[in-house]
Amino acid sequence: MKSECEEAIRNVVERQGRLVVLTGAGISAESGIPTFRGPEGYWTVGAREYRPEEMATFAMFSSEPREVWQWYLYRLGVCMKAEPNAGHEAVVEMERIFGDRFLLITQNVDGLHLRAGNSPDRTFQIHGNISWMRCSVDCTGEVFALPDMVRPKAKDELLTGAEESALTCPRCGSRSRPHVLWFDECYDEAHYRFNSSLEAAVNADMLLIVGTSGATNLPMQVGSAAAQRGALLIDVNPEPNPFSAMAERSGGFFCQGGAGAILSEMVAILRG
């Protein structure tokens, strides 16, 4: 890491500044969970291959609910087999160091930050969590854990009739849906902490962005809001991306490389 970057981080710690960490699929790539950019993202329905941007939509769920649930239960299996990695552990350590001056905004639905030990009240899962479901007709805003009898699926393994019956809203009996934000839906506060995330961004003294391609709307707004308020932006990613450009434009830093090694190095700097 560049010495200017180290110095800027130390400065935030000395000033007792607030840290916001914004993570994307890249931080979980080292746990073996594919990002949406790789070839593993594709899913076959009948004779057609669908991209995640097509599968992860309310429109697809409305026409092919069983296929969409099957895709999510396959991905649930991938997430459940994965273990938090050095990057997740480093983010937990950052929460320990900053305490109530820490917030985590994650686009990941895999739950690995919570499993690693970040606290639920300081973790905004702005795209939901793959282990949860809710009513598809919004009879209630409540979110429910997936029923125990619903099992993660292997690729091409079908939902059983009993599982389909269990994937219903416990309140009204309508079909339930995965508690995730789909590409054709909008952010809100109740489910996805939209306002809280923007508020965190404007109050941040340092925004650490890890493993995201900047293809979604709220994360870009979080980056712009923090940069406009003069926060130190640091982007960690093996590839240049819109956040690395934003960080460098605003006087921050692009740390090019994998999350595990770079975040562990950052924790050592934070500890002093």
Interface with ligand NAD (CB under 6 A) = 24-30, 33, 35-37, 107-110, 127, 210-213, 215-216, 236-239, 241, 258-259
- For residues 101 and 128, which CB has a smaller minimum distance to ligand NAD in the complex? 128
Q: In the complex with ligand NAD, which residue's Cβ is closer, 141 or 257?
A: 257
Contact 159, 70 (CB under 8 A): yes
Report the nearest approach of ligand NAD to the CB of residue 14 (Å).
27
User: 160 or 217, CB closer to ligand NAD?
Assistant: 217
Q: Which is nearer to ligand NAD, 7 or 83 (CB)?
A: 83
Residue number of the CB closest to ligand NAD reads 26
**Considering the complex, what minimum distance in angstroms separates the CB of residue 144 from ligand NAD?**
19
CB 183, min distance to ligand NAD, A:
8
What's the min distance (Å) between Cβ of 111 and ligand NAD? 8
Of the residues 113, 127, 179, 191, which is catalytic? 127
Name which of 67 and 110 has its Cβ closer to ligand NAD: 110
Please indicate whether residue 127 is annotated as part of the active site.
Answer: yes
**Maximum alpha-carbon separation in the chain:** 59
Active-site residue set? 127
